[in-house]
Amino acid sequence: MFGHDLADVYELVYRARGKDWAAEAAETTRLIRNQLPAADSLLDVACGTGAHLEAFDRLFAHTEGLELSPAMLERAAGRLPGVPLHQGDMRAFDLGRTFDAVVCLFTAIGYLRTVPDMRAAVAAMARHLRPGGVLVVEPWWFPERFLDGYVAGDLASDEHRTVARISHSTREGRTTRMEVRFVIGEAGGIREFTEVDLLTLFTRDEYLAAFADAGCPAEYVRPRWTARGLFVARRP
């Protein structure tokens, strides 16, 4: 997952699906500053290609990013040469500093396979908050809201290529198995690749317990821009 093939088409496809990283970053910043008006430093965990982080960097005096995938991190580094970026696992990272805000968006936390993994990630993010700092996490679907057998199809184009994306999601116990096929047409021909994403259907109560036990009690909110909702937590 999240290799060079996906990194190459990632933003093109999701932009065609209606994703607006700048607007999401602005709304997330509003939530953060509702809790901490003077917030001016932010860490983006699982920053991907840096699309959110690029917008956050215009809104905060200091930003940093953490990403596990080398291919995605390479894209982020290309667009954000002045922003410190770190390769690391969200379950066990230590950057040696704290931030006014830590965010983990676009359901990245759902890729963790077990409740202990999720709890470790929440705890690691909470440790990187200053007193009074704000943690915002966008979950994957809760079990009761997941649609077994869901199919999605999208077509995206730019001046160089056209990309078709078709996904099929099924439930296997507590796991979403999402098979995603990409077909790319460009001047040199047509190529395709398939990704299989495994995302865990953690419950709302499991998330809330993880935040509470990490010393950052959270509330679950439903902003308009994400149907999956957000957890907004604050370190006392």
Every domain of the chain and the residues it spans: 4-142+202-234, 145-200
Q: Tell me the per-residue pLDDT of 168-209, one tens digit each, with 9 for 90 and over.
A: 999 999 999 999 999 999 999 999 999 999 999 999 999 999
Q: Note the pLDDT of residue 231.
A: 98
For the chain, the average pLDDT equals 97
Q: What's the CATH class of domain 145-200?
A: mainly beta
C-beta of residue 101 within 8 angstroms of C-beta of residue 124: no
Does the domain at residues 4-142+202-234 carry the CATH identifier 3.40.50.150?
A: yes
Instruction: Give the Cα separation of 17 and 9 in Å (integer).
Output: 12
pTM recorded for the entire structure:
0.97
Question: 108-162, pLDDT tens digit by residue?
Answer: 999 999 999 999 999 999 999 999 999 999 999 999 999 999 999 999 999 999 9
The closest of 67, 23, 62, 70 to 42, measured between CA atoms, is 62
